[in-house]
Structure 1
Amino acid sequence: MEFRVKDLALAEEGKNRIDWAEAHMPVLVALRQKYEKTKPLKGIRVAGCLHVTKETGVLVRTLKAAGAELSWCGCNPLSTQDDVAASLAKDEGIAIFASRGVTSKEYYDDIHSAMKLDPHVTIDDGADLTVEMHKGMPKSIRGGTEETTTGVIRLRAMQKAGKLAYPIIAVNDAETKHDFDNIYGTGQSALDGIIRATNILVSGKNVVIAGYGHVGKGVARRAAGLGANVIVTEVDPIAALKAKLDGYSVAKMNKAAEIGDIFVTTTGCKDVIVDRDIAKMKDGAILANAGHFNVEISIPGIESQTVQKKEINDHTMQYSLKNGKRVYLIGEGRLVNLAAAEGHPSEVMDMSFANQFLAVLKLAQQGQTMKPLVYNIDKAQDQEIALAKLQSMGVEIDSLTPAQKAYLEGFAEGT
C-alpha cells in the first residue's frame, strides 16, 4: 500500500486520539454497527480530501467497515494531525497522503496521489479535490460530497457555468451540519485556537468579526460569552441587521480596524482585511481567519508594510510595521481552529460525518442515475440524524398526533 505520512511511529498516539473521538460520536458509530455486516460499500472506491483529524479517523473507520476501499489526503496545509495520519496508514491500512506544513506543490501532489484510486465517490472539503478531478476526464466517478460553505459556493459556480461533470451532495447545507458544525463547532474551536496561540484574555477586548453567517454568529456568541465587546462587519444588510438586533455593534471595516483588539474573518471571500485596514490597527492587534482559505486576510497587505518579522511560537507571527506598530497573525492566516487547535469537538462532527456517510451511501447506489448538479441533503435524513443525536443524549421529544398532522396538512379549518 502506498502512503505518505510524517512518521509512522506516531501511530499509537493517533489511534488513542481516534478512540477518544469515537467514544464521543455515537451517531456515526451506530451507523457503522448498522452497515458493517451488509457492507453496502463493498467494491466502492472512495477518495477523501478532508482535514485529517481524530474525528475524520472515525469516519474513515466507518466507511471501511461498510466495505469501502479508501484513499485520503488533507484539505489544508496546516490542518493535518500527523499522529492521526500515521494511525490511518498503519492501523487502518488506507492509502493516505498527508502531513502538517506541506508546501502548495506538496499539497496538490497529495491530492493527485489520492486520485490514483480512480474513485467512484469523492469526499471533499473546499472543492480542491473535485476541481482537480475535473481537470482530467473522470473515469469511474459516480458522485461526490462537499463539506464546507466555500466548497459549495465553488461547486454551484461550476454548475452555473455548465462545468460540473458529476453530481455533488452539499453536506454543508444540511441543517445538522451548518447549524451545528459551523455555529457551535467553529464558534468554540476558533476561539480555542486564538487562546492556545496567544493565551490572551478575551474579556474586555474589542473582537471584530467579519461576516455574520453561521460561523460568524458562532464566534460572536462565544466571544461575547467570554466578556468581549463584539463588533460585526458585513456586506449583507440582512445579516448586518441580525447582528445589530442580536446585541452587537455593526460597523464598516475601516472603522472597526481602528478599535479592534482581535480580528476574526469568517466570510469565505478574499481581501476582507487589506493593507489600508492593517495600517489603522492598534499596536498588538491579533488577526485570525476562520474561513476555509487563507485569502481573507491579505498577507501581501501585511508584508508590504512590514520592516521585520518574528515567530513568537509555532502558531503566531509578529509583524513589525513601518508605522512602529505590531500586528500578530495566527496560523499563517489559515483556518485558526485547525492551524492552532484541534478543530471542531467530536460531538459536533458526529452529525456532520453521519451526513457524509449517508451521502456516500446514496451516491454509491444512485449516483449513476443522478444529473451533474449540486444536491441538498434530504430533510428526512437531517431529522433522522438530529433524532439519533437527541436519543444519544437521553433527550425525548413529542410527536404529532394524527389530528395535528391532518390540521397542518389541510386548509379546511379556519377561525
Structure 2
Amino acid sequence: MATVKTSNNLVEQGENKITWARNKMPVLQSISERWKENQPLKGVRVSACLHVTPKTANLLITLKDGGAEVALCGSNPLSTQDDVVAALNEVYQVPTHAKRGEGKEDFYNRILEVLDIKPHITVDDGADLINTLHSERRELLDNISGGTEETTTGVTRLKAMARDNYLQYPVIAVNDAMTKHMFDNRYGTGQSTIDGIMRATNYLMAGTSFVVVGYGWCGRGVAKDASGLGARVTVVEVDPVRALEASLDGFEVKSMEEAAKNADFVVTTTGNKNVVDKHHLENIKDGCILSNSGHFNVEINLESLEKMSKTKRTVRPDVEEYQLKDGRKVYVIGEGRLVNLSAGEGHPADVMDMSFSNQALSVEYLANEKTNLKNDVYPVPKHLDEGIAELKLKCMGMELEQLTEEQKEYLNSWDVGT
C-alpha cells in the first residue's frame, strides 16, 4: 500500500511527540549512539507489529540507527497515533502501516504488508505477527532467525505454540525480563490504565468501589494506583497465592459475581476470555464502568452485553453506554480494548525506555546467535537485563554499592557458621 501524504501539522505534531518521549529514554538513546558507530544490524530486515506510539517510534528509529531495514504496523486498531505514523513515514523514513480505528480486515492486511520485506527478525506485541507468519506466509519462515515478544498475552500464546511443536523459530520473551514486567507491567500499566479511565470519564476515583480482575503484575499496578487515588479496591483472582497476596496488600478479595454487585469501575487484567461474563453482567451495578487492560478485547463478554441491551450509544469519546432491557446502564471504555492506549497515550516513556531497550538488545542478540538457538521461547539473557537496570540507575543519578572481596568470599563459602 502506498504511503499517503499527510498534512505538515500532523507530521510536526508526531515529530514533537517522538522527541518529547526520547527525552525520557536515555538507555535507548545510549544504544542508538553505540549502534550508529558499529552498525550491528546492517543487512538485517526487521518487521515489527507494535502499538504505534512515540515510544515505539524511538525503538524503530534505534533499530534503523543500528543498520536494520525496518517496517512497522500496529498491534491494536485503537492504539495507533496517526500523527506518529505520519512522522515516522515522512521524517524518519520508517515505513509504517497503521491507522487508528481501522477495521479487522485492514488491520490484518497491514500485518501482511510489513511481512513483504521478508524479515529476518520479527518484533511482536501479542503474537499476531508471528501467528500470521505461521498461518498465511509460511514460505517466509525459512528466512527468519528469530523474534521477540513484548507482552504477557503474546508470550502465553508462543509457549503454547512451542509445546505443540508448531513454533518454527526461536523467540525471546521480552515480557519476562525483570526490567520489563516489574516496571512496565506494574508501574506503566498502573499509571496509564488509570490515566485512560480518567481521560475517558472525567470522574472522581476517590471513594468509589474499584474492581481489578487479575492480580498479576499489571493487576498489582492498577490496584496500587487506584488505591492511591482513594478508591476502595477489590481484587478478583483464581490463583490462591495471588489472592492471598492481594489480601495482605490490603485489598478485599471476592468472586466476580459478588464484586460486580457494588462495582463503580471494573478493570480486567487477566489475558483470559470472558472474565466479565453474562452472569456477572446480569447482576452488575447500575452505572458501572467497564474497561480492559489486557491485550485483546475478549475479557469482557461484549457479545452477551449487546444481546442483553435494548440501546447502545456513544456518550463521550471512547465511552459507549449500554442500556440493559431492565433499565440499568453499563458503560464500556474503548470498545473493551486496551484502555490505556484506546483512551490514553500508553505507558510513560520512562518505563518504556527499559522495555524497548530489552527489545533492541534482544534483536541484536538474535542477529548474533541465530544459529545457536532452537525453535523455543527464551528469556532475555540475564546480562542484558541487568545491564539495562544498571544503565537506568546511572541515568537516574543513582549508585550501586559494591561487594568487597571479603564479602564475595563469604557468600561463596559454606564452612563459616555462627
Cα distance in 2 for residues equivalent to 1:116 and 1:24? 33
Give 2:62's aligned residue: 62
Cα distance in 2 for residues equivalent to 1:20 and 1:6? 23
Q: Deviations over 1:215-262 (max 9, x none)?
A: 000000000000000000000001000000100000000000101110
Give SS of 1:36's match: helix
Give 1:71's aligned residue: 71
TM normalised by structure 2 equals 0.97
Give SS of 1:77's match: coil
Pick closer, same or farther for the CA change 1:170–1:194 going to 2, 3 Å.
Answer: same
Counting only pairs closer than 5 Å after superposition, residues 214-363 of structure 1 correspond to structure 2 as 214-363=217-366
Cα distance in 1 for residues equivalent to 2:215 and 2:2? 40
Q: Match for 1:150 among 148, 153, 166?
A: 153
Q: Which runs of 5+ in 2 are unaligned?
A: none
Deviating beyond 3 angstroms after TM superposition, the runs of 4 or more aligned structure 1 residues are: 2-9
Cα distance in 2 for residues equivalent to 1:26 and 1:154? 32
Pick closer, same or farther for the CA change 1:195–1:41 going to 2, 3 Å.
Answer: same
User: RMSD of the alignment, in Å?
Assistant: 1.1
1:134 and 2:134 are equivalent in the alignment = yes
Contact kept? 1:208, 1:231, Cα under 8 Å? yes
Cα distance in 2 for residues equivalent to 1:188 and 1:235? 24
Instruction: State the one-letter code of the partner of 1:314.
Output: P
Give 2:88's aligned residue: 88
Q: Tell me how far 1:368 sits from its aligned partner.
A: 2.7
Q: Deviations over 1:317-368 (max 9, x none)?
A: 0001011110100000000000000000000000000000000001111123
Instruction: State the one-letter code of the partner of 1:60.
Output: L
Q: Deviations over 1:169-208 (max 9, x none)?
A: 0000000000000000000000000000000100000000
Q: Which runs of 5+ in 1 are unaligned?
A: none
Cα distance in 1 for residues equivalent to 2:326 and 2:239? 33
Task: Single out whichever of 134-143 and 163-172 deviates more from structure 2.
Answer: 134-143
Cα distance in 2 for residues equivalent to 1:93 and 1:162? 38
Cα distance in 2 for residues equivalent to 1:264 and 1:3? 39
Q: Tell me how far 1:67 sits from its aligned partner.
A: 0.4
Give 2:16's aligned residue: 16
Give 2:110's aligned residue: 110
Cα distance in 1 for residues equivalent to 2:336 and 2:307? 16
Give 2:385's aligned residue: 382
Contact kept? 1:53, 1:342, Cα under 8 Å? yes
Contact kept? 2:61, 2:94, Cα under 8 Å? no
Instruction: State the one-letter code of the partner of 2:133.
Output: M
Task: Give the total of aligned pairs.
Answer: 414
Q: Tell me how far 1:4 sits from its aligned partner.
A: 4.5
Give SS of 1:318's match: strand
Give SS of 2:326's match: coil
Q: Tell me how far 1:5 sits from its aligned partner.
A: 5.9
Q: Tell me how far 1:409 sits from its aligned partner.
A: 2.3
Cα distance in 1 for residues equivalent to 2:408 and 2:382? 17
Cα distance in 2 for residues equivalent to 1:294 and 1:22? 30
Counting only pairs closer than 5 Å after superposition, residues 150-229 of structure 1 correspond to structure 2 as 150-229=153-232
Give SS of 2:24's match: coil
TM normalised by structure 1 equals 0.98
Cα distance in 2 for residues equivalent to 1:248 and 1:3? 52
Instruction: State the one-letter code of the partner of 1:127.
Output: A
User: Identity across aligned pairs (percent)?
Assistant: 50
Instruction: State the one-letter code of the partner of 2:100.
Output: R
Cα distance in 2 for residues equivalent to 1:270 and 1:128? 17
Cα distance in 2 for residues equivalent to 1:104 and 1:59? 25
Contact kept? 1:45, 1:121, Cα under 8 Å? yes
Cα distance in 2 for residues equivalent to 1:17 and 1:363? 30
Q: Tell me how far 1:35 sits from its aligned partner.
A: 1.3
Q: Deviations over 1:269-309 (max 9, x none)?
A: 00100111112111110000000000000101211110011
Contact kept? 1:71, 1:117, Cα under 8 Å? yes
Contact kept? 2:170, 2:377, Cα under 8 Å? yes
Instruction: State the one-letter code of the partner of 2:43.
Output: G
Cα distance in 1 for residues equivalent to 2:100 and 2:377? 31
Give SS of 1:368's match: coil
Q: Tell me how far 1:3 sits from its aligned partner.
A: 4.8
Cα distance in 2 for residues equivalent to 1:274 and 1:45? 42
Task: Single out whichever of 397-406 and 262-271 deviates more from structure 2.
Answer: 397-406
Pick closer, same or farther for the CA change 1:245–1:80 going to 2, 3 Å.
Answer: same
1:391 and 2:394 are equivalent in the alignment = yes
Contact kept? 2:28, 2:59, Cα under 8 Å? yes
Give SS of 1:406's match: helix
Pick closer, same or farther for the CA change 1:257–1:370 going to 2, 3 Å.
Answer: same
Give SS of 1:293's match: coil
Pick closer, same or farther for the CA change 1:317–1:153 going to 2, 3 Å.
Answer: same
Give 1:400's aligned residue: 403
1:371 and 2:371 are equivalent in the alignment = no
Contact kept? 1:118, 1:139, Cα under 8 Å? no
